[in-house]
């Protein structure tokens, strides 16, 4: 992770509709379109630093803090996915962005899919990274148990277990720096915002079951081959249920692959976005799967 990119390339930072955001200028005078990046639970907009330099080669990039994270407002006590999707809608309205490619990671993937389902006319494409979908009973029990332990106290306990799930146990030596950066984000998040958002994340794996058939935009479902909680099986199932979807699996990667393998993630995102940019009105399925 290279957080300094956020200050090096940001055109503007601001707050709109209780949302803290940053806009990054494209290196081309005429950007193809805008790409919005939505982080996961416990993170904030800086977690996308490894993607910003690559994406700004051709696109304007908008990153923002999800409700309850960073400098954005808290969600309601018992929020819904629609509340988080409405946050993005309000931000785009304020910025006068009519349409965008929407990319989300983990909880952000749920938000991205919810936004695309409710606002297809404003969605050029959607990419769901390390998304959850229709957990098994054992997976659901584990995540609900974790959610039940959360309160208003700072997250100084449970962080090591989270890092083990996301990076491996022990954390491989070459990932130590990335894991420490992610640890810092987890320890700095508002505990109330985290708890409210995580409870929603824990209970929303079935939010799109039975709805993806109506997703009328190009969709990429990208995950790591070694991510047990956002598994390849989940991405394949979502792609199979989506008219213009495909699954891609990055071998040997886990949940935080955007920081552990930014080159691999960026390569696939750029290829997908380039294809989606010329398929504004797709007419045939692009179902498929890529393995590396």
Range of the domain at 166: 4-291
Number of domains forming the structure of the chain = 1
Q: Give, as one character, the DSSP assignment of residue 213.
A: G
In the residue annotation, 44 being an active-site residue is answered as no
C-alpha distances in Å from residue 26, one per residue of 33, 39, 62, 128: 10, 20, 11, 23
pTM of the model: 0.92
Cα–Cα distance measured from residue 61 to residue 49, given in angstroms and rounded to the nearest whole number: 11
Do the beta carbons of residue 194 and residue 157 sit within 8 Å?
no
Catalytic residue among 39, 230, 255, 266: 255
Among 124, 83, 113, CA closest to 212: 113
Give residue 28's pLDDT.
Answer: 76
Of these residues, 106, 204, 229, 231, which one is catalytic?
Answer: 106
111-132 pLDDT, tens digit each: 999 999 999 999 999 999 999 9
Six token digits for residue 282: 């797709």
Those residues of the chain that have pLDDT short of 70 are: 1-10, 31, 153-154, 156-157, 279-292
CATH of residue 37: 3.40.50.1820
pLDDT at 153: 63
Residue 73 has phi, psi (to 5 degrees) of -70, 160
Q: Report pLDDT for 72.
A: 98
Q: 130 catalytic, yes or no?
A: yes
pLDDT of residue 151: 78
Is 164 a known active-site residue? no
Active-site entry in 130, 230, 235, 266: 130
The backbone region for 275, taken as left when phi is positive above 0, alpha when psi lies in -120 to 50, beta otherwise, is alpha
């Amino acid at each position: 992770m290279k957080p300094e990119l956020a200050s090096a390339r940001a055109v503007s930072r601001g707050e709109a509709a209780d949302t803290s955001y940053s806009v990054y200028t494209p290196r081309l005078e005429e950007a193809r379109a805008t790409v919005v990046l939505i982080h996961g639970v416990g993170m904030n907009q800086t977690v996308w630093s490894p993607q910003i330099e690559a994406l700004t080669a051709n696109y304007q990039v908008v990153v923002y803090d999800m409700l309850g994270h960073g400098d954005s407002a808290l969600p309601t006590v018992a929020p819904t996915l629609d509340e988080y999707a409405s946050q993005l809608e309000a931000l785009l309205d304020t910025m006068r962005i009519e349409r965008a490619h929407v990319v989300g990671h983990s909880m952000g993937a749920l938000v991205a899919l919810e936004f695309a389902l409710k606002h297809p006319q404003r969605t050029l494409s959607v990419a769901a990274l390390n998304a959850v979908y229709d957990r098994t009973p054992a997976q659901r029990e584990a995540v609900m148990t974790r959610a039940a332990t959360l309160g208003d106290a700072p997250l100084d306990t449970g962080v090591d277990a989270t890092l083990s799930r996301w990076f491996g146990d022990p954390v491989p030596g070459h990932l130590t720096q990335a894991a420490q950066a992610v640890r810092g984000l987890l320890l700095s998040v508002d505990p109330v915002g985290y708890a409210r958002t995580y409870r929603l994340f824990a209970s929303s794996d079935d939010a799109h079951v039975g709805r993806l058939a109506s997703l009328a935009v190009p969709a990429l479902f990208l995950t790591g081959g070694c991510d047990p909680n956002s598994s390849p099986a989940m991405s394949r199932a979502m792609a199979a249920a989506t008219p213009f979807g495909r699954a891609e699996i990055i071998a040997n990667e886990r949940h935080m692959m955007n920081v552990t393998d930014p080159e691999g993630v960026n390569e696939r995102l750029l290829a997908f976005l380039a294809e989606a940019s010329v398929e504004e009105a797709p007419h045939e399925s692009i179902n498929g799967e890529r393995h590396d």
